Structure 1
Amino acid sequence: MASSKKHSREQREARERLRHYSARTVVHEKTLARRKRDNILAISIGLIVIALVSAAQVFYFSSGPGAPEPAPSFTPEPSASAQENVGDVPDVSVAEARTWTGELSLNDVTLGIELDGAGAPQAVASIVDSIANNYYVGKFCHRLVKTEKVGLIQCGSLDGTGASEPGYAYGPIENAGVGGFYPAGTIAVARSGDDAFSNGRQFFIVFDDATIPDDAAGGYSIVGTVVSGLDALQSEITDGGVADDAEDGVPVIETSITRFTIQ
C-alpha cells in the first residue's frame, strides 16, 4: 500500500515538473519572438530615420538654402524656340569643308573675317548661302551686351527686333566654345535658349573676351573669326554703349550691315 502511494506521489511530482518545464519553454519562446520583433522594428525605424536625414540633406544642398548660387546665364536672342521650322536651310556641302575669307561692314567699319567650313559646316553653309542671296545687307545689329564677362554685338535679325525667323532654323550646335569661353574676335550663331535646333541667320561678334555659360542645349556654334578691324568696331560702335545706360540692349549708335562678301 505504501509503495503504491509513493508511486502515485512520484507521478504527480513528475507531472508537476513537466508542467513547469513546459511553461518555462513557452515563456522563453515568447521572449525570443518578442526580442526578434523588437530588433526588426528598431532596424526599420533606424532605416527610416537615415532615409529622412539623407533626403533632408539632399534637399538642403540641392534646392534648399544650402544650394549653391547658380552661375549667371546668358542666352543670345532670338528668344522664341524654332526647332520645328526647318525652312530652306542649305545642305552642309555648301560650306565645302574649307576656310572662307571675306569682309563684313557694319556702318563704315570694315571687318576682315574668316569662316571655318570644316568646324561648323551647317552654320557656315547657312551664312555663305545667305550672303549669296543678299540676305544680310540692310539688316540691323539690334543688340549690344557690355558686362564684366560678356562683350558682344548681335546682328542679322529679319525684322530688326531679334525675333526668330519663321521657317528658318537648324541644328545641332557645332564647334561650341570650350568651357563657355569665346575669345575676342569670335563670330558665333545666335539661337534660342535650351534649344540646339534653333540656330538661324543671326550671329554675334565677340569684341571682348566672353564667358557665356552653356545652357541645357550646350554652347553656341562658332563659325569664324574677325581677323582685322576689331579695334575700329569698338571705338566706332560698341564704345558708344547701350541705350538707357543698360548692359544689354539696343546700341546707342544705330548699326546695320552695309556690306558682306565672302570667297
Structure 2
Amino acid sequence: MTKEQERARARRRYAKVQAKQAKRQADRARNVRVAAAAGTVLVVVGLLAFLGTRFGGDDEGTPAASSTTAAGCPAPPAALGTGAELELPDKKAAEGKTFLATLTTNCGDIELTLDGTKAPQAAAVFLELARQNYWQDSPCHRLTASEGLKVLQCGDPTGSGQGDPGFGYGVENAPKDGAYPRGTIAMARTQDAKAGTGGQFFIVYGDSSLPDPDGYTVVGTVTAGLDIVDRIAAAGIAPGGSSPTDGAPAAPISILRVAVTEKKA
C-alpha cells in the first residue's frame, strides 16, 4: 500500500468517526427536544387536572378516588400475605378463665369475651395468636348474607381463606341444635372436625343456622362493636363472588391487631 493509499484510508476512517459523532449529537439534541415537549404536555395536563379538581362542577366528570371504603372506613392496609408454622398452645393456659379481646380494625374496635371454660383450646389459640401478632393486617375475606347464614369470616393473614397457623385441633363447645345467635364468635374449620380448626373465625351478625353434625366451636361473644360488622354487611358482597350472598365484602375490613387479656374476678 502506497503512502497516498494510506492517507486516503485514514481520511475515510476520520470521516466515519466524524459522521458517528455528528449522529450522536443530533440524537442527543432530538432527545432533549422530545423531553422538553413531554414535560410541557405533563405540565399542561397537570394544570388542567388541578383546575378540574378545584373548580370542576359536581354534575359531570369522574370523581376523585376515595380513601374510604363503602362502609365509611379508612382503606385497610395490604395483607401481609403470609401464614405461619406455630405450635398448638396448651389448652391449660385458658382452662377455667375468661378473656377480653379487642380486635382493632380499620373500621374501629370490636370487643369480645372469650370463654376458656367451655372452649379452652380455642381460647388458648386466640390468646397465643394475639401474642404472636398472627392476625396483623389480616383481611376479613368472606361475608355471607343468606336467609339463614349471616357471618363475617376473618383470621387468615394471607387473605385467601386458605391460610392457617400451622396446626389444627378439634371442635369443642358446638351447639347441638346448630343455632348461632347474633353476636356469637365461632371458629371456622375445614371438613376435618377432629383437626381442621385453626386460626380463622367468624362473627355472627344475624341469627344463623349451621346444621353440621359436628358443628363449630363457639369461643365467645361480641360485647361491643357489632355495629361495625352491620355496616360491612349492609355494603353487600363484592362483584365476582361465588354467589350474590357469599363472597368478599364489598366494603373491605381488616384486623390490624388483636389484644387479649385475662378478665379478673
TM exceeding 0.5: yes
What corresponds to 2:256 in structure 1?
258
What corresponds to 2:136 in structure 1?
137
Q: Which runs of 5+ in 1 are unaligned?
A: 1-85
What corresponds to 1:228 in structure 2?
224
- Quote the Cα distance in structure 1 between the aligned partners of 2:99 and 2:192: 29
Tell whether the 8 Å contact from 1:87 to 1:169 is kept in structure 2 after alignment.
no
Could you say if the C-alpha distance between residues 166 and 118 of structure 1 is closer, same or farther in structure 2, counting changes exceeding 3 Å?
A: closer
Offset at residue 262 of structure 1 (A): 1.2
Alignment root-mean-square deviation, CA:
1.7
- Quote the Cα distance in structure 2 between the aligned partners of 1:166 and 1:103: 20
Aligned AA for 1:186? T
Partner secondary structure for residue 193 of structure 2? coil
Point out 4+ residue stretches in structure 1 off by more than 3 angstroms: none
TM-score using structure 2 length: 0.62
What corresponds to 1:240 in structure 2?
235
Offset at residue 105 of structure 1 (A): 2.3
Partner secondary structure for residue 199 of structure 2? coil
Partner secondary structure for residue 104 of structure 1? strand
Tell whether the 8 Å contact from 1:106 to 1:256 is kept in structure 2 after alignment.
yes
What corresponds to 2:88 in structure 1?
89
Tell whether the 8 Å contact from 1:94 to 1:129 is kept in structure 2 after alignment.
no
In terms of fraction of residues, the more helix-rich structure is: 1
Aligned AA for 2:235? G
- Quote the Cα distance in structure 2 between the aligned partners of 1:167 and 1:259: 19
Higher-Rg structure is: 1
Tell whether the 8 Å contact from 2:107 to 2:228 is kept in structure 1 after alignment.
no
> Which whole-Å deviations, capped at 9, do the CAs of 1:201-257 have from their partners, x for residues lacking one?
001000101001114xx000000000111123212x221111127111111011110
- How many residues are aligned here? 174
What corresponds to 1:112 in structure 2?
111
Question: Which stretch has the larger CA shift, 90-99 or 204-213?
Answer: 90-99
Please, which of 204, 207, 211 is the counterpart of residue 202 of structure 2?
204
- Quote the Cα distance in structure 1 between the aligned partners of 2:174 and 2:100: 20
TM-score using structure 1 length: 0.63
